[in-house]
Chains A and B, each alone.
Chain A
Amino acid sequence: QKEVEQNSGPLSVPEGAIASLNCTYSDRGSQSFFWYRQYSGKSPELIMSIYSNGDKEDGRFTAQLNKASQYVSLLIRDSQPSDSATYLCAVNGPNTGNQFYFGTGTSLTVIP
């Protein structure tokens, strides 16, 4: 079982819609959760971090964490073509030591 799993997509949404990206993790002791955006040919860029159950909002982005169900999600409201990228979920915790475990990423395309 992979430590972090994401639907690879591709996920396509029309401009202005809400994009929903999901991630599940296997280590129940995980404590830190991150979403990275990676444009084609570029390096990952941290866009959201979340550490407590519930929602965390930052502009058009909302991260949701449910530790009991071991999933974390990212909602992108009012999706723009510039949001088209691969989104990587990453997890860290005491059982992983210093290592961040990354999912394989979900490719998102926002259609104008």
Chain B
Amino acid sequence: SAVISQKPSRDICQRGTSLTIQCQVDSQVTMMFWYRQQPGQSLTLIATANQGSEATYESGFVIDKFPISRPNLTFSTLTVSNMSPEDSSIYLCSARWGLEAFFGQGTRLTVV
């Protein structure tokens, strides 16, 4: 199966700061996705990152808060900006090959 490397795996950040999460895949892919998973909850899609175009954000998520880059077909970043404790969550990168989607290891973010 595909390899998706995500880092950092966890971080503790001060409120008001920003954190950039990186996601690297081992083979080219058109679509990459960023999810958030609150404790005990399911996955919520933040945005779809397409190479060469602006990311598409889901309702409730805005580019100023979660800017995304997609410079090539194997890499994407998600920045969580101006963090507050409510941003504490697990952030997951996902990529889709064919009909199937796979996930990175996740980033456990704690904002204090």
Would you give the shortest CB distance from B73 to chain A, in whole angstroms? 16
Which stretch from A11-19, A59-67, A76-84, A94-102 is at the chain B interface? A94-102
A103 touches B42 (CB 8 A): yes
Taking CB atoms, residues of chain B closer than 8 Å to A104 are 41-42
A38-55 residues with Cβ-Cβ distance < 8 A to B are 41-46, 49, 51
Q: Chain B contact residues: over half helix, strand or loop, or mixed?
A: strand
Would you give the shortest CB distance from A6 to chain B, in whole angstroms? 9
Tally of contact residues, B, Cβ under 8 A: 20
Q: From A104, which residue of chain B is reached at the shortest CB distance?
A: B42
Q: In the complex the two chains form, what is the Cα distance from A45 to B45 in whole Å?
A: 17
A49 touches B48 (CB 8 A): no
A51 touches B41 (CB 8 A): no
Among A34, A44, A98, A103, the residue within 8 A (CB) of B48 is A98
Q: In the complex the two chains form, what is the Cα distance from A98 to B101 in whole Å?
A: 10
A43 touches B101 (CB 8 A): no
A43 touches B96 (CB 8 A): no
A100 touches B105 (CB 8 A): no
The 8 A-B pairs with the shortest beta carbon distances in the complex, nearest first, are A43-B103, A43-B106, A104-B42, A102-B43, A102-B42, A32-B99, A44-B103, A43-B105
A88 touches B92 (CB 8 A): no
Q: Interface residues, chain A, CB within 8 Å of chain B?
A: 32, 34, 41-46, 49, 51, 88, 90, 92, 98-100, 102-105
Residue B19, interface by CB 8 Å? no
Binary contact readout B1-27 vs A (1 if CB under 8 angstroms, 0 otherwise)? 100000000000000000000000000
Q: In the complex the two chains form, what is the Cα distance from A93 to B96 in whole Å?
A: 14
Q: From A41, which residue of chain B is reached at the shortest CB distance?
A: B108
B104 touches A46 (CB 8 A): no
Taking CB atoms, residues of chain B closer than 8 Å to A88 are 42-43
B31 touches A98 (CB 8 A): yes
